[in-house]
């Protein structure tokens, strides 16, 4: 939609005489594309406050803002429009409701737990094939913010709209229903997703059904293709339009590529709207060391649409995104090569086979590569050509789960309490950089790493947020200062060395984090060292205390509360003495993941979120109660199948002895990959086709064997070592250890894939 600032102001209860035309609503400053046509909504959330970014956006050319108060730092901004409202989110939702009222068309509203996006994309692709002008939610924009932004995309000549509605608490659907006002209501499969936000499954279903209350047609079902067909029929179209339309993958993967390239592989519907989202994701991974390349296929478009105009818009979009190189693949995009900026390095070809014949790995070096094309273009062949050779086993890391877990713990904290996100030990084995980028986007206060090298790697990968260095003993002070890593200091000797090095490198007021030993008895200042600490701090301006912290030894031990309370008392005493001795303030933090859950009154200024961020609770049954999502899934594949008679021995030392005729699968993962040898000989079960399959014989260095009798297994089938169907906690219990160790033990030679839905 395109409206004037005046019309928008009238709608949300403000005054403005400005006829500046607005085509884009923005809630995330990093997604800015067209400044002079943008209206920024400064939303306050549990994670962040949009008012912090108003001044930056003004400097970047934005001149229209919806705010709850005008930031004091703005100065003379007479050319800007500030629409002051009581609640910016409510204003955004009110504006979307007004836009919805401007069109009288069939609107499909889809809710449920699983399948919403797939059903929406099936119907969208079929309607585009039929030549209908359709607006739908980009990707999975189904939240209290995403739905209004989706509805804004309506235009006067839109024929059909399809919007998703997702909720995680009571009271949310009523707001979304009033914005969407569906004429056709759809309920897909209901699962345990977001059960934790409701008193019961029945309550959640009842809340979702509110979307369907005033619909002319209601459709329910769990088979995506069947539901999509019924929606088409309700819209007056034939379900046969689905012929040749494939179910889309909602995944967007990040892979390591050849020659220091990083690949973003997007399998979502290939149309202009989803290209916008993919380029936004790409921009957040840009670094100065890599040029930006897009490999783009023909875009899905409405039958009869002016494709020349479409690819002209694509060209403008690529320029705004800072793309350096374009490789266009497909007959449509090749035919319109003249629409693209001649200053951009670009080449065009008709088919994927043409690309594979022309390009090899030597044609790509130090590039951030977005690969986006339709399902029928077989761009997966391009991905395989350009990704680094990888182990047959994969650790999949779900970045959406990271966000969900972060926000779950965020909801337990006061709005002013910051989160220090622990990404040390390579993100507990999952790989730190992609997690850090995700957490930086979510508004974490700090990242925490163990050693200088980990912090340097994050900085080189483009991380700009504050980083605490927990184990600062180092000889590489040059890197520490050059990359802005903030050391934890645990002794007078360490602080003296740091002061000397700060003087050597000309640093003043360098931030440090003072570590107190309140009962862990590992590292940290103790009571009788505080006077010496203060004396040294008073003698120099080379360092400045940014925070003081300590580690809880027994927060996850329900029978050790008395000891934990003694640590809190010691922390109060020590930080109080430090505060009395300094003439400036500093932040305090002592709670770990278990502490966040058990001692909310001890939040202080920050908390440190560790294993809970990865979907694993340090407390029994708490993961279920909090609806934590497992972040990591370790998969391998079956490379051999053999049927052996009873009494056959399997593996080294003949430790595996079959007690019946069995089908034995060989899996290319072993103790060199992090599979502890104690998991052999039936002590663990890996999942194949939904069946738990026990290990047989000893775990080998690079291989293991499992009994897949009854699992209908075939060569190439997936084997889940741990993940959704094989909880990592079970493996840890078997080994008599903690999930931290199992996760952190996954070998670096196991390929990591990062994805978002």
Q: Which residues are designated catalytic?
A: 424, 652
Q: Which residue has the tokens 């002895």?
A: 657
Residues whose CB falls within 8 Å of the CB of residue 521, separated by 6 or more in sequence, listed in order: 553
Q: Which residue has the tokens 């912290």?
A: 549
- φ/ψ region of 115 (left if φ > 0, alpha if ψ in -120 to 50, else beta) reads left
Q: What are phi and psi of 603, to 5 degrees?
A: -70, -30
CA-nearest of 423, 409, 399, 397 to 623 is 409
Neighbouring C-beta atoms of residue 601, cutoff 10 Å: 6
Residues contacting 148, CB < 8 A, separation 6+: 25, 92, 93, 95, 96, 179
Give the DSSP letter string of 151-211. Answer: HTT--TT--EEEEE---SSTTHHHHHHHHH--SEEEE-B--STTGGGSS-HHHHHHHHHGG
Half-sphere exposure of 171 (CA within 13 A, CB side): 1
Q: Are 38 and 65 in contact (CB under 8 A)?
A: no
d(CA 202, CA 208): 10
| Chain CA centroid to CA 724, Å | 17
Place of tokens 């009288």: 104
Residue 318: CB atoms within 10 A of its CB come to 23
Give the span between the Cα atoms of 548 and 440, in whole angstroms: 22
SS3 (DSSP) at 682? coil
SS3 510: strand
The Cα-based distances of 238 to 105, 170, 219, 557 in angstroms read 18, 36, 16, 61
Q: Sign of the C-alpha dihedral, residues 590, 593, 594, 597?
A: positive
**Measured between alpha carbons, how far is 306 from 304 in angstroms, rounded to an integer?**
7
User: Which whole-number Å values give the CA distances from 19 to 8, 93, 419, 495, in the listed order?
Assistant: 10, 21, 42, 59
Pick the closest to residue 173 from 201, 212, 200, 210 (CA basis).
210
Which phi and psi angles does 5 have, rounded to 5°?
-60, -40
C-beta of residue 708 within 8 angstroms of C-beta of residue 685:
no
Q: How many C-beta atoms lie closer than 10 Å to residue 395's C-beta?
A: 25
Which residues have a Cβ under 8 Å from the Cβ of 244 and sit 6 or more positions away? none
Structural tokens at position 131: 């030549």
Longest CA pairwise span in the chain (Å): 88
CA dist., res. 489 & res. 473, Å (int): 9
Q: Which residues contact 583 (CB under 8 A, 6 or more apart)?
A: none
Count of Cβ atoms closer than 10 Å to residue 353 Cβ = 12
Q: Which residues touch 319 (CB under 8 Å, ≥6 apart)?
A: 341, 344
What are the distances in angstroms from CA 583 to CA 297, 469, 532, 538, 577? 61, 25, 16, 10, 12
Interatomic CA distance for residues 88 and 39, integer angstroms: 12
The string of DSSP letters for 624-657 reads: HHTT----EEEEEE--EEEEE-TT-EESGGG-EE
CA 654/CA 647 separation, integer angstroms? 11
């Amino acid at each position: 939609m395109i409206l004037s600032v005046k019309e928008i102001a009238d709608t949300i209860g403000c005054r403005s005489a400005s006829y500046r035309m607005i085509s884009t609503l923005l809630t995330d400053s990093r997604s800015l594309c067209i400044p002079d046509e943008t209206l920024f909504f400064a939303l306050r959330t549990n994670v962040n406050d949009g008012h912090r970014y108003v001044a930056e956006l003004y400097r970047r050319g934005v001149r229209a803002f919806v705010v709850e108060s005008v930031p004091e730092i703005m100065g003379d901004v007479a050319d800007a429009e500030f629409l002051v409202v009581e609640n910016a989110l409510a204003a955004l939702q009110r504006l979307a409701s007004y836009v919805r009222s401007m069109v009288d068309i069939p609107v499909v509203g889809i809710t449920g737990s699983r399948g919403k996006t797939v059903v929406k994309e099936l119907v969208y692709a079929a309607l585009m094939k039929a030549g209908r002008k359709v607006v739908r939610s980009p990707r999975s924009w189904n939240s209290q913010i995403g739905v209004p932004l989706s509805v804004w995309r309506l235009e006067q000549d839109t024929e059909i709209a399809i919007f998703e509605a997702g909720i995680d608490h009571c009271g949310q659907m009523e707001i979304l229903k009033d914005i969407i006002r569906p004429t056709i209501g759809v309920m897909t499969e209901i699962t345990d997703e977001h059960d934790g936000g409701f008193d019961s499954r029945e309550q959640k279903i009842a809340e979702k059904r509110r979307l369907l209350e005033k619909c002319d047609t209601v459709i329910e079902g769990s088979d995506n293709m069947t539901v999509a067909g019924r929606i088409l029929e309700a819209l007056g179209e034939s379900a046969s339009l689905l012929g040749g339309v494939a179910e889309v993958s909602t995944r967007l993967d990040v892979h390591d590529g050849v020659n220091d390239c990083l690949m973003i592989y997007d399998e979502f519907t290939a149309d202009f709207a989803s290209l916008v989202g993919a380029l936004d994701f790409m921009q957040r991974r840009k670094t100065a060391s890599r040029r930006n390349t897009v490999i783009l296929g023909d875009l899905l478009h409405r039958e009869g649409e002016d494709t020349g105009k479409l690819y002209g818009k694509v060209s403008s979009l690529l320029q705004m995104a800072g793309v350096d190189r374009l490789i266009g693949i497909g007959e449509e995009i090749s035919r319109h090569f003249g629409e693209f900026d001649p200053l951009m390095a670009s080449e065009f070809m008709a088919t994927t086979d043409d690309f594979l014949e022309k390009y090899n790995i030597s044609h790509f070096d130090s590039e951030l590569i977005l690969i986006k094309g339709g399902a029928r273009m077989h761009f997966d062949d391009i991905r395989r050509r350009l990704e680094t050779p990888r182990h047959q086993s994969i650790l999949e890391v779900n970045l959406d789960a990271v966000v969900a877990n972060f926000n779950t713990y965020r909801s337990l904290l006061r709005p002013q309490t910051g989160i220090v996100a622990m990404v040390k030990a390579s993100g507990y084995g999952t790989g730190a950089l992609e997690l850090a980028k995700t957490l930086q986007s979510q508004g974490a206060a700090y990242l925490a790493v163990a050693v200088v090298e980990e912090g340097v790697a994050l900085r080189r990968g483009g991380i700009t947020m504050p980083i605490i260095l927990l184990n600062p003993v180092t000889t590489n002070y040059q890197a520490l200062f050059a990359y802005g890593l903030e050391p934890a200091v645990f002794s007078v000797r360490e602080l003296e060395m740091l002061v000397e090095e700060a003087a050597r490198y000309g640093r003043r007021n360098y931030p440090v984090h003072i570590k107190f030993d309140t009962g862990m008895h590992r590292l940290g200042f103790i009571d009788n060292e505080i006077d010496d600490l203060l004396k040294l701090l008073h003698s120099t301006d080379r360092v400045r205390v940014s925070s003081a912290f300590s580690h809880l030894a027994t927060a996850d031990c329900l029978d050790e509360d008395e000891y934990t309370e003694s640590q809190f008392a010691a922390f109060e005493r020590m930080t109080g003495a430090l505060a009395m001795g300094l003439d400036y303030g500093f932040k305090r933090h002592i709670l770990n993941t278990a502490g966040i859950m058990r001692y909310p009154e001890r939040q202080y200024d920050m908390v440190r979120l560790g294993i809970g961020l990865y979907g694993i609770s340090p407390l029994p049954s708490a993961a279920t109660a909090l609806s934590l999502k497992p972040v990591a899934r370790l998969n391998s594949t079956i490379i051999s199948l053999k049927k052996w008679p009873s009494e056959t021995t399997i593996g080294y030392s003949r430790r595996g002895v079959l007690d019946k005729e069995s089908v034995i699968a060989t899996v290319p993962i072993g103790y060199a990959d992090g599979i502890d040898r104690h998991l052999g000989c039936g002590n663990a079960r890996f999942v194949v086709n939904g069946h738990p399959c026990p290990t047989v014989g000893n775990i080998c260095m690079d291989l293991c064997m499992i009994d897949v009798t009854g699992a209908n297994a075939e060569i190439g089938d997936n084997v889940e070592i741990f993940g959704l169907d094989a909880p990592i906690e079970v493996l840890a219990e078997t080994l008599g250890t903690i999930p931290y160790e199992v996760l952190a033990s996954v070998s670096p030679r196991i390929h990591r894939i990062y994805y978002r839905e």
